[in-house]
Amino acid sequence: MFFDFEKFYNRKIPSKQIFIDVGANKGNWFHKINKIYPKSKIYAVEPIKGITKAKQNVTILNMAIDIKGGLTKNFYITREKVTSSLLQQERSIIDKFITFKDKKGLIHKKSDYDVVKKIKIKTIRLDKIIKEHKLKEVHYLKIDSEGNDLNVLKSLGKEIKKIWGFELETWNEKKTLWKNQHWIKDCEKFIKKSGFQIVRKFVHGKGRSTDLLCIRNDLVKFL
């Protein structure tokens, strides 16, 4: 997760900032953002009800973002809820995991990915949320949807032009952790085609994953 994204912008973020957190989980990201930008308005999207506590300037949306909205899909809740996903796992990949501590300081165990519950949830596109809340621009979008990140980004449609910058997590190998997950090359191709530059990469998970920090072309500040 990136918190210094503003230094890559060639203009200052307005005083009333708008942020979207897709895959908010317990809210670790938006709580930190709230401290940095106390006057901001945050939309936190998290399919698992009750896991995220709202604050006065935070709107919790218990939804699942996907490229096709209005569908009822399975959502797989795992033992460690942060690894829950709309996508089914490639268990052959997970079974190769060994317990390790990554560069983020997180402890990874293959048992974290054990599915403990399956629920039905309706999907919604991100462009619909932006339109419904009448957002003229979004100053930063964080995506961490456990394998479905590129589909979340694609669900912006034409509304992607309202995004100043965003981050997402990718998988570095063609044989991915989640079924139907897009790997890093697919993500990079779409990002560049959509008018954004990748300004920073953070490799973690023993080299398996990469977080990408992306800024809209007209807003990039060359450091």
> What's the pLDDT tens digit per position in 34-84?
999 999 999 999 999 988 877 789 999 999 999 999 999 999 999 889 899
Name residue, tokens 């809209």: 216
CATH of domain 5-67+125-217: 3.40.50.150
- Higher confidence at residue 191 or residue 89? 191
User: What pLDDT shows up at residue 97?
Assistant: 67
Q: How many residues does the chain have?
A: 223
User: What pLDDT shows up at residue 187?
Assistant: 97
User: What pLDDT shows up at residue 94?
Assistant: 81
Q: Band the pLDDT of 204: cuts 50, 70, 90.
A: confident
Task: Tell me the C-alpha distance between 65 and 74, whole Å.
Answer: 13
The average pLDDT across 154-168 equals: 98
Task: Tell me the C-alpha distance between 38 and 31, whole Å.
Answer: 10
Instruction: Please check the confidence at residue 99 and state whether its pLDDT lies above 80.
Output: no
At residue 193, what are phi and psi to the nearest 5 degrees?
Answer: -65, -30
User: What pLDDT shows up at residue 206?
Assistant: 79
The average pLDDT across 138-164 equals: 97
Task: Tell me the C-alpha distance between 186 and 97, whole Å.
Answer: 24
Instruction: Please check the confidence at residue 98 and state whether its pLDDT lies above 60.
Output: no
User: What pLDDT shows up at residue 205?
Assistant: 79
Instruction: Please check the confidence at residue 10 and state whether its pLDDT lies above 60.
Output: yes
User: What pLDDT shows up at residue 88?
Assistant: 93
* Cβ atoms of 43 and 59 closer than 8 Å: yes
Q: Band the pLDDT of 143: cuts 50, 70, 90.
A: very high
* Cβ atoms of 170 and 149 closer than 8 Å: yes
Enclosing H/E stretch for 20: strand 18-22
Predicted TM-score of the model (pTM): 0.93
The average pLDDT across 171-187 equals: 93
* Cβ atoms of 30 and 58 closer than 8 Å: yes
